[in-house]
Structure formats: C-alpha cells, structure tokens
C-alpha cells in the first residue's frame, strides 16, 4: 500500500483481485473419450435404466401414470423405489432428496441418507415407496403468501413421475410438487402440470371436433434459451453488490463496452469455452439435450440452449442446468450471473421461451399447412393464441415481471413492457384476408432469395422474419415469449400462457358448436368465429419497432396494458376475469392466486430493501471514505502550492484544483444526504407489514434513491484517483482476460 500525506492511496485488494483474475489460464475441461451418445442421460433414471432395474409390469404401470395421469399404486411405488435406490447406489449416490420449485424462484432440496441403523449396531440402506412418493416439510419456512402460518406449517412434497429422477453429486434427486396440508400449491410445478393438462384437453377437443378425429393427445413443448453473464470469481468477490444482489449498484460505464458489436457470435474466449465444454458434458449426463452455445451481445454475456422438449421436463431441465452452471463455473474460477441486468448500459439477459403444441399424430398445431384444411387448423390455433394473449396481455406481463426483469423490460435491447405479438408480413397478410372475408388463403412455400453471389447456393426464405423488439413473436412454427427474464422459473409464465390459451380454446369450441347447432356448416362456423376474433384481437398484433415512443402511445390507444410499475402490474393477477379463468380451468384457486400475488409483492419489496441497504453500506463504508481521502490529497497539494507559488500566480493555478475539491464536496454531500434519507425510509418500511402498499412505496420511493445515489457515486468514480478506487471497475469486470490471452474477447 502506498501512503501519501498519511492516507493510503492504493486499495490493494482490488489490484490483487485484478492481477489474480488476469493471470488465470483456461482450466482444462474433463471431456469423456466417448461421443455424447455414449454418456447422454447416464445420471438419469430413464427408460434404459428402468429396463435394467424395474420389472416390465412396474415400467408399464409407471408409463401409464406419466402418460395418462393415472394415480400411482402404492405397491408399485415400493418397487420403483427399490430399483431407483439400487441404480442410484450403483452410481455412487449415498443420499436422496425430494427436489422442488418453491415460490422463491429457485429450487429446494433436503438430503437424507439411504442408511438406517439396523438395530444390531450396524446399518442398512433403505428407501421405501412411501419416501419416494411423499414427504413432509415445513411450509411456513418457504414463501407462502399467508397460506401457512408457523403454527400450522405442514406442507407436502409429492413425487412427479412425469419427470425422471436424476443424480447430482452423491444425491438422488426426485422431482416433486410442493403443496400445503390443505392442498394449495406452494410451488411453480403443481399449477404448471395442471395448465399443461388443461391445454392438452382443450386443444385435443378442438382438433378432434373440427380437424382430425384420430387425435388423442397434444403435447406442450418448450425450448428455452438461457442467457447469462460470467465474471471472474476473484473480481466478483470484491463487489459486495454483486455478491449480495447479483447486480452492480454502482459502476461507471466502460469507455469500450458493446459499441463495436463484435461480441455477439464472436469467437468464444478460451476460458469460457472450457467452461461451456464441461457444462455441456454435465448437462448431457443429466439428459439435457444441449445444442447451442454462443457469445451474446454484451461483453461477458453468453447463451446456452437445448433442443425443445415436453414442457414439464424442459422446465426441470432449465432449473437443473442453472444449478449445474453455478457449480461448473466455480471450477473455472467464474461466477455466473442470471440477473436480468447486472451491468448498467449494456444488454440485459432474457430467457426466451419457444412455445408450441404438437398432436400425437405428429402435427405441430402452429405449423402452416399444405392445403386449405391444414391452414384452417393453423389459423385456428394462431388466432386463438392471439386472442388469449390479447385478453391476458396484462396477466402475462404480471407473470414475467420482477424487480430484476424491470431493469431489462423497456430498456433498449429488450422487449418493451407492453405485451404485443409479431406475426411477420406473410402471416399478417393471411390474417387480414381472414378477418376481411372469412376465408383462408394459401401461404407461400419457402421461396428462394435471389442473392446473386457466385458459387453460393440458393437461400430459402422463412415465412416470417425476426423481430427482436417483440415480446411474443411468431417464429414460423412456434411463438417465442421473449419477455421472460433470465433468472425466472419459466414455469410461471408458461402456466399463464397455457391456461389463457386453453381457456380461449374452450370458449372457441363452445361458440363454434353453437353455430353448428344452429345449422352453420363446420368450416364456415370456424371461419366466421376466427374472423370475428381477429377484429377483436388485432390490437395485440404489432410488427413495428417496439422500442419507440410512438408504439407506447399507440399501444395505450389500443387499450394494451402499458403499466411499468411492477407492484401495480401484479394487480393483473387478481382481476375478476383472471380469477374466473384460473378457477374454471382448475389451475389455481382464488386463494392460491391471492397468496401468489402476496409472495410477488413481498419478494419485490425484499429485493429492493436489500439493494437499498447494500448501496447505503457501500456508499458509506467504501466510497465516501475514499472520496474524502482523495479530496484531502488535493487540499494537501493546495497547501503545498501556496508555499511555492507567488500570490499573483496562485489563483490561476489553484482554480482547477479548487473546482475538483468543490465537485467532490458536492457529490459527498449529496450521497450523504440521500443515504440518510434512504436509511430513514428503510426504517419506516421495516415497520410496515409486507404487502402491496409496501411494494408500491419501494417502487415509487426506494428505486429513485438507488438511481440518484448511483449517479453521484459514478461521477466520483470518474474523479477519484484510479489507484484509490476500492471496487473493480466495469472495464475490469466486463472483459474476460487470461494469461497470455488477448485482452478483448
Ligand atoms: P434463436 O435463433 O431464436 O436464438 P436458438 O437456436 O437459440 O434460436 O433457440 C431456439 C429454441 O427454439 C431451441 O430451444 C429450439 O429447440 C426451440 N424450438 C425449435 N422449434 C421449436 C418448436 N416447434 N417448438 C418449441 N421450441 C422450438
Ligand atoms: Mg438463441
């Protein structure tokens, strides 16, 4: 540490961390010798393992439970448990755990050992069907929105046989749902499973009645794209804000960040590639069909995506992978950030949810067809989805809104905080014709693009373009819900979407059936209804640039939900028509909706209160002392200059120095005054009961303090001697460097 005028001017821990971070070399990934197909799913109790460990009869019963939703026979559960235990022990597991998705947004697990005392001084390994099927836990220790008080705290986890058990480390994890003693859902999975089931029956019934009587079942698919940031673990540990809130609450923009647009799809930094390779091996062992990896737009930002799967499994796989990412990152000296906006001024992260529905006949209900009948089916599902999104645009926003995603929605790189749908020119044309004349016109097949480049083969054009600004874009054979945040459990928005579309299809079926009963031919009844729907839901279709101010004004004129305050957006969950929809479809009762909304408000307030406290501590303990030190140094210099220079020379020479002293004073006073006010506000908030009112105050009053205090601190960062600044700066955090490696990328 260097001393000047009695003050330390080098914060050694920051420079040590920077040096450590930059002197790392890529960690060699431990890649198996065999091809992926050789070890894919080896840590999952899948069909292959079941064939080895379970009898044919047990397997058939289990398949029927997963497939047809039959209730599991307890004697079968014992046999499954026994086979599962043997498989797990053969693969190194010593413990088992029910694994579930509580309303915290993460996952939960409690490990129990297989070993039990045998009463003779030794032990045996045990795992019964009862332990597999059901366990009890303290529901009041999880967010429950008042459903469980500490004095009546019982909650149950119940095995979900539709998602296979898996091994992580030494633990056999069993996917479960989590419900209260009185039967209310306390997790994301129970409503998700119900919503998948209700969409299955509604879509099947529409298909059977009007398009294909042989359809028995439809499957709801999800293909998620997980965006994330990586930061060096040593630099991360020097940032209390990242450690405690997952985002930087202060930090001046780096002179170079993403302006050159050279990170997106750029060559992957070797340190990161090693991490990705290890991650893919771990993911594939867990049966996650990982497919795509690439650099994202912001420096240090990346994406990983699997091939789409049945939705329940896809949701589990996303949550498993997020945990695995953290573990693998640690091996590579990284921290992975799932926060939607860890760094101000660069792109944030989303989790695009590609959503589609396929019939057991192999038809994707959102794929354009080859003839008029197929296209009528295609338009039926497109229009009903648009109608559901139109009627529930506020609700869908409520299911993706969070304290962290709010920093992303509406910012330049992300979808705006207004839910609309992009269809593309071709589909829009078909939709317009349908609305006008109640007729389905044919769609162009993929046509060629004349590119006039010698030796390059013809390109085929998709029937939709891309629109990065649309929160809910049609992308050829699926909808891409782009507004979902990177840290979210996709089960929540998918539950809302499935339920809304299912409810819409139920109403569609009723309307069309009424028309048929009154003598209208089936085809005409479908066409007429769709045409009428289109007139109503056109307001939600928007192909333009969702980032513009004009769109905001236009969306408000169209009656779309334009609210940007997260606590007020949550009000959508309790609108009477929303309660009616969830109750009618039996996905969530009003009691469950009230509890869920309470949890949303509670988590929102808690996150902001934590950010306020961390910012205040960092301002007072890290920033103000350093700013004062630097100011003293300048004042020392001024005193020394006064001894050296003549009276006539001094004013000119001292003027710039005095200006800096005044600037620092201005920022110090402002930070001091504002943190005092914020502290007082937080004390008042502590006395308030959790709930909507508290969340509204956090949004209206705490957020502005966080912004203005940050502005002053970021200005100080630009003034204070770099050697004294205690926190790793954006330029140090945001570009992964390694020993002997290039500086950028
Ligand atoms: P993008 O170019 O939009 O970034 P990616 O290749 O990163 O696309 O991811 C697209 C995701 O969409 C993948 O998970 C992919 O499996 C999924 N997907 C493709 N077709 C469908 C479909 N019919 N239904 C659901 N998801 C799909
Ligand atoms: Mg992608």
Q: What is the largest CA-CA distance in the chain?
A: 105
In sequence order, the β-bridge partners of residue 541 are: 421
Strand residue runs (E) in 351-413: 351-359
The Cα–Cα gap between 351 and 97 comes to: 27
Highest mean pLDDT among 422-426, 523-527, 735-739: 523-527
How far is the centre of ligand 1, averaged over its atoms, from the C-alpha of 333 (Å)?
30
Q: Is 462 in the pocket of ligand 1 (CB under 6 A)?
A: no
For residue 729, is pLDDT > 90? yes
pLDDT greater at residue 90 or residue 437: 90
Indicate whether 457 belongs to any domain. no
pTM to 2 decimal places: 0.95
Spell out the SS3 assignment of 144-167: CCCCCCHHHCEEEEEECCCCCCEE
Among 142-156, 196-210, 337-351, 646-660, name the one with the lowest average pLDDT: 142-156
The average pLDDT across 309-331 equals 98
- On whether both 16 and 57 belong to a single domain, the answer is no
What does the pLDDT read at residue 72?
78
By CB atoms closer than 10 A (0-12, 13-18, 19+), residue 412 is exposed
The pLDDT, as a whole number, for residue 738 is 84
Q: How far apart are CA 356 and CA 361, in angstroms?
A: 15
Q: Which are the contacts of 426, defined by CB distance < 8 A and separation ≥ 6?
A: 443, 444, 463, 464
- pLDDT for res 424: 85
Assigned domain for 423 exists: no
CA of 477 to the centre of ligand 1 (A): 10
Residue 406 maps to a domain: no
Of the ranges 47-61, 440-454, 503-517, the best mean pLDDT one: 503-517
pLDDT category of residue 342 using cuts at 50, 70 and 90: very high
Return the ∠ at Cα 254 (arms to 248 and 259), rounded to 5°: 115
Domain span including residue 8 = 2-25+605-744
For residue 548, what pLDDT is reported?
A: 86
542-547 average pLDDT score: 87
**Amino acid 664: pLDDT:** 98
The answer on pLDDT for 743 being more than 60 is no
* Residue 585 maps to a domain: no
Pocket lining: 305 vs ligand 1, CB cutoff 6 Å: yes
CATH code of 692's domain: 1.20.120.1560
Which is the closest atom of ligand 1 to the Cα of 294?
A: 7
Band the pLDDT of 5: cuts 50, 70, 90: very low
**pLDDT at position 431:** 81
The per-residue DSSP string of 661-697 comes to: HHHHHHHHHHHHHHHHHHHHHHHHHHHSPSSHHHHHH
- For ligand 1, whether the C-beta of 354 sits within 6 Å is yes
> Does 21 share its domain with 40?
no
From 308, 472, 480, mutation site for ligand 1 pocket: most ligand atoms within 8 A of C-beta: 308
Is the pLDDT at 504 greater than 70? The verdict is yes
Over the stretch 430-449, which tens digit does the pLDDT of each residue have? Answer: 888 887 777 776 666 666 66
Q: Is 308 in the pocket of ligand 1 (CB under 6 A)?
A: yes
DSSP tag of 561: -
What pLDDT shows up at residue 140?
A: 83
Q: Which helix (H) or strand (E) holds 641?
A: helix 624-644
Statement to judge: residues 94 and 67 lie in one domain:
yes
Task: Please check whether residue 203 is in contact with residue 365, taking contact to mean a CB–CB distance below 8 angstroms.
Answer: yes
Q: How confident is the model at residue 70 (pLDDT cuts 50, 70, 90)?
A: confident
- Split at pLDDT 50, 70, 90, the class of 698 is very high
The 10 Å Cβ neighbour count of residue 136 is 12
Regarding the beta carbon of 4 and ligand 1, being less than 6 Å apart is answered no
Ligand 2 midpoint to CA 294 (Å): 8
Å from CA of 75 to ligand 1 middle: 41
Asked if residue 632 is part of any domain, the answer here is yes
CA dihedral (513, 497, 413, 336) in degrees, to 10, reads -160
Q: What is the pLDDT of residue 2?
A: 45
Structure confidence by residue, pLDDT tens digits, 167-177: 999 999 999 99
Q: Give residue 690's pLDDT.
A: 82
Ligand 1 pocket residue status of 688, Cβ below 6 Å? no
Residue range 169-196: average pLDDT? 94
How large is the average pLDDT for residues 133-147?
A: 86
pLDDT-derived band of residue 165, with 50, 70 and 90 as boundaries? very high
CA separation for the pair 692, 597 (Å, rounded):
9
Distance 484 CA to ligand 2 centre (A): 13
Which residues have CB under 8 Å from 606's CB, separation 6+?
690
14 and 120 part of one domain: no
Domain boundary among 155, 186, 217: 186
Nearest CA to ligand 1 atom 8: 225
Instruction: Give yes or no: residues 612 and 689 share one domain.
Output: yes
What is the average pLDDT value for the chain, to the nearest integer? 92
Query: What pLDDT shows up at residue 255?
Result: 87
Q: How confident is the model at residue 453 (pLDDT cuts 50, 70, 90)?
A: low
What's the rounded Cα separation, in Å, for the pair 709 and 690? 25
101 & 169 share domain = yes
Per residue in 355-372, pLDDT (tens digit) is: 999 999 999 999 988 888
Question: What mean pLDDT is predicted for residues 571-576?
Answer: 97
Which are the contacts of 240, defined by CB distance < 8 A and separation ≥ 6?
A: 614, 617, 618, 622
Ligand 1 within 6 A of CB of 566: no
Average pLDDT over residues 514-527: 95
pLDDT at 454: 61
Which of 220, 352, 354, 476 gets mutated to test ligand 1 (max ligand atoms within 8 A of its CB)? 354
Alpha-carbon torsion 391, 397, 398, 399, what sign?
positive
Look at residue 549 and tell me if it is in a domain: no
Q: Which of 218, 225, 350 to mutate to test the pocket of ligand 1 (most atoms within 8 A of CB)?
A: 225
Query: From the CB of residue 602, how many other CB atoms can be counted at a distance below 10 Å?
Result: 21
* pLDDT-derived band at 3, boundaries 50, 70, 90: very low
Domain shared by 88 and 182, yes or no = yes
| Ligand that lies nearest to the alpha carbon of residue 355, given by its number in the listed order | 1
Per-residue pLDDT, averaged over 473-477, amounts to 92
Interval between CA 167 and ligand 2 midpoint (Å): 28
pLDDT score of 710 more than 80: yes
**If you measure from the C-alpha of residue 626 to the centroid of ligand 1, how many angstroms do you get, rounded to a whole number?**
49
Q: Are residues 12 and 127 in the same domain?
A: no
Residue pLDDT, tens place only, 98-131: 999 999 999 999 999 999 999 999 999 999 999 9
Q: How many angstroms does the Cα of residue 510 sit away from the middle of ligand 1?
A: 33
Residues 43, 167 contacting (CB under 8 angstroms): yes
Indicate whether 742 pLDDT > 70.
no
Q: For residue 291, what is the DSSP state?
A: E
Distance of CA 378 to the CA centre of its chain: 29
Residues 18 and 149 in one domain: no
Q: Residue 150's pLDDT is what? A: 63
Going through 154-277 in order, the beta strands assigned E by DSSP cover: 154-159, 166-168, 171-180, 218-232
In this predicted structure, what is the pLDDT of residue 9?
46
Q: Is 646 helix (H, G, I), strand (E, B) or coil?
A: coil
627-685: per-residue pLDDT in tens?
A: 999 999 999 999 999 999 999 999 999 999 999 999 999 999 999 999 999 999 999 99
Residue 480 lies in a domain: no
For the CA of 366, the nearest atom of ligand 1: 23
Q: Does residue 6 register a pLDDT over 60?
A: no
**Of residues 659, 654, 666, the one with CA closest to residue 716:** 666
Angle at 333 between CA 281 and CA 413, to 5 degrees: 80
The answer to the question of residue 419 being in a domain is: no
CATH number at residue 177: 3.10.20.70
Listed in sequence order, the residues at least 6 apart from 177 whose beta carbon sits closer than 8 Å to its beta carbon are 100, 157, 158, 160, 185, 187, 189, 190, 193
Task: State which of 152, 186, 220 marks the end of a domain.
Answer: 186
Specify the range with the lowest mean pLDDT, choosing from 123-127, 459-463, 604-608.
Answer: 459-463
Distance CA 598, CA 148 (A): 13
pLDDT in tens, 50-66: 999 999 999 998 888 87
pLDDT at 216: 96
Same-domain pairing of 129 and 43: yes
Question: If you average pLDDT over residues 584-595, what whole number do you get?
Answer: 96
Do 714 and 685 fall into the same domain? yes
Distance CA 498, CA 195 (A): 6
Q: Which of 138, 157, 186 is the last residue of a domain?
A: 186
Same domain? For 635 and 723 the reply is: yes
Q: How many domains does the chain have?
A: 2
């Amino acid at each position: 540490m260097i001393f000047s005028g009695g003050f330390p001017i080098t914060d050694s821990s920051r420079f040590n961390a920077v040096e450590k971070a930059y002197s790392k070399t890529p960690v060699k990934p431990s890649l198996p010798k065999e091809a992926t197909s050789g070890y894919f799913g080896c840590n999952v109790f899948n069909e292959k393992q079941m064939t080895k460990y379970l009898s044919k009869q047990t397997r058939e019963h289990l398949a029927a439970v997963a497939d047809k939703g039959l209730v599991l026979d307890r004697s079968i559960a014992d046999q499954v448990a026994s086979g599962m235990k043997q498989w797990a022990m053969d693969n190194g597991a010593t413990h088992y755990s029910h694994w579930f998705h509580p309303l915290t947004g993460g996952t939960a697990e409690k490990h129990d050992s297989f070993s039990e005392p045998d009463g003779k001084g030794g032990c045996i390994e045990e795992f019964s069907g009862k332990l597999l099927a059901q366990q009890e836990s303290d529901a009041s220790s999880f967010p429950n929105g008042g459903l469980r008080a500490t004095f009546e705290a019982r909650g149950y986890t119940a095995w979900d046989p539709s998602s296979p058990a898996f091994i992580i480390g030494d633990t056999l994890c069993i996917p479960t749902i989590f419900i209260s003693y009185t039967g209310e859902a306390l997790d994301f999975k129970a409503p998700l499973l119900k919503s998948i089931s209700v969409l299955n029956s509604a879509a099947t019934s529409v298909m059977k009645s009007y398009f294909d009587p042989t359809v028995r079942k439809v499957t709801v698919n999800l293909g998620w794209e997980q965006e994330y940031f990586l930061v060096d673990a040593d630099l991360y540990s020097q940032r209390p804000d990242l450690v405690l809130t997952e985002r930087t609450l202060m930090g001046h923009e780096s002179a170079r960040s993403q302006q050159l647009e050279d990170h997106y799809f750029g060559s992957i930094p070797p340190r990161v590639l090693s991490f990705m390779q290890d991650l893919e091996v771990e993911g594939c062992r867990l049966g996650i069909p990982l497919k795509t990896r690439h650099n994202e737009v912001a420096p240090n930002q990346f994406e990983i995506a699997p091939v789409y799967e049945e939705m329940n499994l896809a949701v589990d796989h996303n949550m498993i992978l997020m945990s695995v990412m953290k573990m693998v990152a640690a091996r590579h000296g990284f921290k992975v950030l799932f926060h939607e906006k860890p760094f101000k001024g660069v792109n944030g992260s989303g989790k695009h949810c590609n959503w589609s529905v396929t019939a057991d006949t192999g038809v994707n209900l959102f794929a354009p067809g080859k003839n008029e009948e197929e296209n009528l089916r295609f338009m039926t599902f497109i229009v009903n989805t648009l109608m559901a999104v139109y009627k529930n645009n506020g609700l869908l926003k409520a299911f993706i809104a969070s304290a962290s995603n709010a920093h992303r929605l509406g910012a330049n790189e992300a979808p705006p905080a207004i839910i609309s749908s992009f269809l593309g020119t071709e589909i829009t044309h078909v939709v317009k014709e349908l609305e006008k004349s109640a007729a389905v016109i044919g769609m162009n097949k993929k046509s060629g693009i004349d590119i006039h480049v010698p030796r390059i083969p013809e390109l085929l054009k998709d029937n939709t373009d891309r629109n990065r600004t649309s929160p809910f874009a049609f992308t050829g054979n699926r909808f891409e819900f782009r507004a979902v945040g990177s840290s979210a459990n996709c089960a929540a928005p998918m539950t809302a979407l499935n339920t809304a579309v299912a409810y819409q299809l139920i109403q569609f079926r009723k309307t069309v059936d009424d028309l048929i009963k009154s003598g209208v031919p089936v085809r005409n009844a479908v066409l007429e209804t769709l045409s009428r729907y289109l007139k109503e839901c056109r307001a939600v279709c928007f192909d333009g640039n969702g980032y513009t101010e004009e769109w905001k004004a236009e969306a408000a004129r169209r009656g779309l939900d334009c609210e940007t305050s997260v606590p007020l957006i949550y009000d959508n969950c309790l609108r009477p028509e929303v309660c009616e929809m969830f109750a009618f479809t039996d996905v969530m009762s009003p009691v469950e909706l009230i509890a869920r909304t309470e949890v949303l408000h509670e988590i929102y307030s808690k996150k902001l209160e934590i950010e306020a406290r961390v910012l205040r501590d960092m301002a007072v303990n890290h920033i103000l002392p350093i700013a004062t030190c630097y100011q003293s140094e300048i004042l020392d210099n001024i005193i020394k200059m006064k001894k050296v220079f003549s009276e006539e020379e001094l004013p000119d020479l001292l003027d710039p120095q005095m200006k800096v002293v005044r600037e620092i004073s201005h920022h110090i006073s402002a930070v001091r005054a504002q943190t005092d006010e914020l502290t007082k506000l937080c004390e008042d908030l502590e006395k308030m009961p959790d709930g909507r009112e508290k969340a509204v105050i956090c949004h209206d009053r705490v957020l502005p303090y966080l912004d203005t205090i940050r502005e002053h601190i970021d200005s100080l960062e630009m003034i204070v001697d770099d050697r004294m600044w205690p926190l790793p700066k954006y330029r140090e955090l945001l570009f992964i460097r390694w020993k002997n490696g290039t500086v950028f990328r």
